[in-house]
Structure formats: structure tokens, C-alpha cells
């Protein structure tokens, strides 16, 4: 439940072709540290053309644990459907799937955090994709969570052979 289906080096690898090759027809996208560096409200220049191409190809839904005021500003600027705070991993994903009008197995859930994005996406049966966080947060709590995440920041099965060696 904690392993993503795939790990990508950057959001830019998630292209319409990549989705099509996996039979994916929609995207549930995390906001903070996935699409925007933590604390920023403007889409990085490098992601503008990427997002335009993606949303032209498939429906994209923003699902965030951000505070509602900040989320509303960002969402308005991007013009994408979505809601926050979602209380991931437990809540929000079913509502997002309903809004997309797609079955979970045809939807990519994309985010930077194992215990919210990956776990939540796996719980509803979506295709989970983990990307590296755009900006490290300074808070001790987040550093601690990252440490706990480390074993899961790879797809299930990849790297397990090292463990087998010791047997």
C-alpha cells in the first residue's frame, strides 16, 4: 500500500504518451512540492507548456491538503478543477475520481509524498506515481516523515533482490 506503481525523476516525464501507454485517462495531481515548490503560488516556467499539453490530452484534477484560501488562489490562476483541504490519504480521492468520471484504474495519482499521495491513491486502486519533492520543507516534522518514507520511494519489487542476497 505504501509503494508507488512508478517513480518518475520529474513531473515532466508524465506526458500524454506516457499515460496512453499505460491506459490512463485522467490525472489526480498533488499541488505542494509536486506542481508548485512549497510555499509558491505561481507555476514554474518549466511546467507551463507541460501542463498545457497534459490538460489538453486528459482531465486533470488538483487534490491538495493545502489551506482553502491559498488553494483557491492557485486553482483560480491555473483554472483546473480540484478541492482542498482533502485530508489525504483518507479523504478526497473518491470525490476526485467522481469529478473525473473515470474508474480508479484509469487514473494516475501523482504526488511527492508516500503517506498522503501514494497511500491514498493505492487505497482507492489508482495508478500511483511518486515524484521527488520540488523543495524541501524546513520543518522537523516533514524531515522526519521523509526519513520514514525512504524505504518506499521506489516501485514495489525494485531493489528487493538486495534483501534476498542476505538470505
Return residues touching Mg ion (CB under 5 A).
30, 32-34, 112
CA-nearest of 104, 110, 107 to 8 is 110
Q: Which is nearer to Mg ion, 102 or 130 (CB)?
A: 130
The strand pair at 82-83 and 60-63 is best described as parallel
Give the list of residues 6+ apart from residue 52 with CB closer than 8 angstroms, or none: none
Q: Smallest distance from the beta carbon of 38 to Mg ion, in angstroms?
A: 8
Q: Which is nearer to Mg ion, 6 or 30 (CB)?
A: 30
H/E run at residue 27: strand 26-29
Q: Smallest distance from the beta carbon of 166 to Mg ion, in angstroms?
A: 34
Q: Smallest distance from the beta carbon of 79 to Mg ion, in angstroms?
A: 20
Measured CA to CA, the distance from residue 44 to residue 131 in angstroms comes to 16
Q: Smallest distance from the beta carbon of 161 to Mg ion, in angstroms?
A: 30
Instruction: Count other C-beta atoms under 10 Å from residue 12's C-beta.
Output: 13
Q: Which is nearer to Mg ion, 21 or 147 (CB)?
A: 147
Q: Which is nearer to Mg ion, 6 or 112 (CB)?
A: 112
Q: Which is nearer to Mg ion, 34 or 122 (CB)?
A: 34
- Report in angstroms the alpha-carbon separations of 41 from 13, 15, 38, 47, 138: 22, 23, 9, 13, 18
Q: Smallest distance from the beta carbon of 35 to Mg ion, in angstroms?
A: 9
Amino acid at each position: 500500500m505504501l509503494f508507488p506503481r512508478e517513480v518518475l525523476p520529474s513531473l515532466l516525464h508524465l506526458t500524454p504518451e506516457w499515460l496512453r501507454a499505460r491506459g490512463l485517462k485522467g490525472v489526480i495531481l498533488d499541488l505542494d512540492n509536486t506542481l508548485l515548490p512549497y510555499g509558491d503560488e505561481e507555476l514554474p516556467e518549466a511546467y507551463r507548456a507541460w501542463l498545457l499539453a497534459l490538460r489538453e490530452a486528459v482531465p486533470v484534477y488538483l487534490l491538495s491538503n493545502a489551506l482553502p484560501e491559498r488553494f483557491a488562489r492557485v486553482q483560480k490562476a491555473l483554472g483546473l478543477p480540484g478541492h482542498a483541504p482533502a485530508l489525504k490519504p483518507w479523504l478526497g480521492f473518491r470525490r476526485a475520481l467522481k469529478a473525473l468520471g473515470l474508474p480508479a484504474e484509469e487514473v494516475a495519482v501523482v504526488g511527492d509524498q508516500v503517506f498522503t499521495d501514494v497511500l491514498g491513491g493505492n487505497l482507492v486502486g489508482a495508478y500511483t506515481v511518486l515524484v521527488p519533492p520540488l523543495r524541501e520543507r524546513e520543518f522537523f516534522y516533514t524531515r522526519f516523515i521523509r526519513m520514514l518514507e525512504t524505504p518506499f520511494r521506489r516501485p514495489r519489487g525494485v531493489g528487493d533482490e538486495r534483501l534476498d542476497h542476505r538470505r
